[in-house]
Amino acid sequence: MRMRNPNLRFLLLLLLVLQLSSVLSWKKDEFRNCHQTPFCKRGRARKPGFCSLVAHDVSISDGDLTAKLISKNKDNQEDQSQLRPLILTLSVYQDGIMRLKIDEDPSLDPPKKRFEVPDVIVSEFVDKKLWLQRLSTETIGGDSGPSSIVYLSDSYEAVLRHDPFEVYVRDSAGNRVVSLNSHGLFDFEQLRKKEEGDDWEERFRSYTDTRPYGPQSISFDVSFYEADFVYGIPEHATSLALKPTRGPGVEESEPYRLFNLDVFEYIHDSPFGLYGSIPFMLSHGKSRGTSGFFWLNAAEMQIDVLGSGWDAESGISLPSSQSRIDTLWMSEAGVVDAFFFMGPGPKDVIRQYTSVTGTTAMPQLFSIAYHQCRWNYRDEEDVENVDSEFDEHDIPYDVLWLDIEHTDGKRYFTWDRILFPHPEEMQRKLSGKGRHMVTIVDPHIKRDESFFLHKEATEKGYYVRDANGNDYDGWCWPGSSSYPDMLKLEIRSWWADKFSYQNYVGSTPSLYIWNDMNEPSVFNGPEVTMPRDALHYGGVEHRELHNAYGYYFHMATADGLLKRGDRKDRPFVLSRAIFAGTQRYGAVWTGDNSADWDQLRVSVPMVLTLGLTGVSFSGADVGGFFGNPELELLVRWYQIGAYYPFFRGHAHHDTKRREPWLFGERNTELMREAIHVRYALLPYFYTLFREANTTGVPVVRPLWMEFPSDEVTFGNDEAFMVGNSLLVQGIYSERVKHASVYLPGKQSWYDFRTGTIYKGGVTHKLDVTEESIPAFQRAGTIVTRRDRFRRSSTQMVNDPFTLVIALNSSQAAEGELYIDDGKSFNFRQGAYIHRRFVFSNGKLTSFDLRPASAGNIRFSSDVVIERIILLGHASGSKNALIEPSNDKVDIVLGPLWIQRTRGPAVLTIRKPNVRVADDWTIKIL
């Protein structure tokens, strides 16, 4: 319906402007704190020993341990009136993974089925269930009755204490690893039918939540034994090691909040929840190693990290003298569906977690190169000018992005035909240089009866509904908007079809997608999001799945790109909202950061935390989305951003233009050099993405992941590892002349820029120049580079490689290289090259890592290795012998970096020209 009343149009426009202004910056009172969130307030108020549950009827059923949890009154008698029995199921999977489920008993006719999050656990994991045949019993400590013991692996057992109710895992020596309800804080508020007099409504500011089934929260304590620190539970702009939020000496603090929100200009060093939620926590300690806990629950969650002594007055004596870190987990709704991971190493825990939720999707090669974005590039002429300026200034890039202004009135899948009259031609021009384009597609659909997408969704009943059963109507960028109900597979399939070339008119095969605002953001909703009592398919309340809405939207969009290309090419979709499993569908970024040093600093622990929780493909907006960065900050951000897994420059439309050539010749040179470093390292990054794809181990890693026994690394989140070979130390302050850099381990490190050698296990005070941030290659590693620079990564695929061999004290090193076609799924059928390079006893050997069972499709390449750099080699040899060809090649002094002729000379095997796909040996003579 067209609006004919100009006064009404003005009033609605004014309302929208007011709503927009309320979210344009951080406003604390726009968002609820724990005290204003009843389930959090109740959960924090409970004292140790609150839980009165005991386990009854423990048995083996369908390969699982099952039990009933029954409430016990003060006289130690069963009290059926306090709480209807709950059903507990304990399952065991390969690799010693334990799954614990607790839900209402369906035979007692609850008002509805509580929501269990679908489509997160991968099918391969379900098939790894171990069918329990029996359980044993044991009396623990001074308990009055027995506990049930379940075999997990040769190293671990699960224990279900019957009275008091507790679940924990212990190692073969009887030491606890992870426990649930050791402090008796478990509580499970059961669904109820509303009766006369019940007032369950909750109010925040001007919003009312109807809560038709009453309070339904769940809370419990989880303890990690022999832990020095805990990590994880993104997304928060805070330190990598999670700080205590309660306990003696802890300043008044909010819990860590997991509730996906659209937060403009978020503040750093805060437990406040941002755009994503992954309820997975890891612990790490020198004596125990690493363990993990994951709660598959998509409702709002609040998590306290409890400081030492928090329970000093409880009077509870835990049945263990082990040191531990206690945490309190509180969720508004859902069920208990928890996974325990025993490690024992950091990479083991990540591998175990990603065996449940999936590993990182193998990206297209272009997508791990540099991306250029702005809200908004104005028109086709602007796009063409930006593209040509990159070429003129010899700066490679692979992707140019268009924000919401490219559409026709914020109608997604459309183009503003005045500003972008020839979108296919625009994309083809970029594609001709090996470049790509990304356009934005958000979940809010403009409520315009002439808009085909809205018309279809309305007719088919595909929108989320409000509490009264009508299509939910909220405000976002287009004004009045509705949101597809992505919980339902049929609707996700319908959405995916919209990315076909026939439906998305003006799109081409070189166009990829950006999902923003998918928390979902609703400008006039409570806390700038959808009301909790909105309704999804099957009567699911939005409160139950809120944190997974963006995940399902991301999933549907990725499937759309797969469909449009007959599932032959890998999709690229960037998402802002995240949940467990997001890594299977694409990349994420850390949202609307600001152009200041603190935001640069916090970007590192944010990206590291995402990697620890499965999401390897992440990065922060280089330069900061809001504000105008000072030049030194912008340069430093490019220098560290070149090592993010996802590398994109992006800025708000109110900022000054900040393409790298706009700041004078010297600053352009510095930013160009940072981008060149990324392009040189693309083979190394691509190999790391393959590792993440196969094992779950992240591309960038905390130092302690590679040095798990080095206590100095446990709290260090200023430096990070890229794979196992490179250490990068950020510069987070202006006018810095010196930096203290801790280089862990017993082996040496080589300056990545100069080749200068530094001792390991020592903190070095280093001179810092404007040219680069400190970066080092670990002795004993081999890194593969491509040192010729072209317009884009696509144009580099046939260029030769350089091997940089950093020798350790034994004059040995090794590394890997993975290559495929960079775009298709043929690698799944074995179409790839995977080599291991080993240098020992004066000889470099290339081994084939591709198993014979990999598949019947082969990938061939004639690309050669044109330089081999030897750092730390003790010999004065002049020649090397290549076998089996029996060719001799020269060993000379050459530059560490071809582009930097002023740098120091290093020992170089010149032009061996061995094919990267072949087996060969190069022996130093």
Active site residue 519: yes
The Cα angle at residue 230 between residues 225 and 235, in degrees rounded to 5 = 150
H-helix or E-strand spanning residue 631: helix 631-641
Q: How many CB atoms lie within 10 A of CB 370?
A: 26
Phi, psi of 199 (to 5 degrees): -120, 95
Q: Could you tell me the two tokens for 568?
A: 């032959």
CB 474 within 8 A of CB 525: yes
Q: What is the DSSP string of 667-687?
A: HHHHHHHHHHHHHHTHHHHHH
Q: Which of 592, 621, 717, 718 is catalytic?
A: 592
User: In 3-state terms, what secondary structure has residue 625?
Assistant: coil
Active site residue 890: no
CB 279 within 8 A of CB 295: yes
Q: What is the DSSP letter of 84?
A: P
Cβ density class 759-785: b for 16+ within 10 Å, e for less? ebeeeeebebebebbbbbbbbbbbbbb
Q: Which of 157, 337, 516, 751 is catalytic?
A: 516
Instruction: Tell me which residue of 187, 186, 222 sits closest to 324, measured CA to CA.
Output: 222
CB 585 within 8 A of CB 575: yes
3-state helix, strand and coil shares in percent for the chain, rounded to the nearest 5:
20, 30, 50
CB 201 within 8 A of CB 208: yes
Q: How many CB atoms lie within 10 A of CB 81?
A: 8
Question: Distance (Å, rounded) from C-alpha 868 to C-alpha 880?
Answer: 11
Q: Which of 166, 519, 533, 659 is catalytic?
A: 519
Q: Could you tell me the two tokens for 673?
A: 């050099």
With tokens 């470093």, the residue in question is 677
Phi, psi of 422 (to 5 degrees): -130, 65
Q: What is the DSSP letter of 211?
A: -
The Cα angle at residue 840 between residues 837 and 841, in degrees rounded to 5 = 145
Q: Could you tell me the two tokens for 339?
A: 């996974």
Question: Distance (Å, rounded) from C-alpha 513 to C-alpha 395?
Answer: 24
Cis peptide before 683 (omega within 30 of 0): no
Cβ density class 305-324: b for 16+ within 10 Å, e for less? bbbeebbeeeeeebbbeeeb
Positions marked catalytic: 516, 519, 592
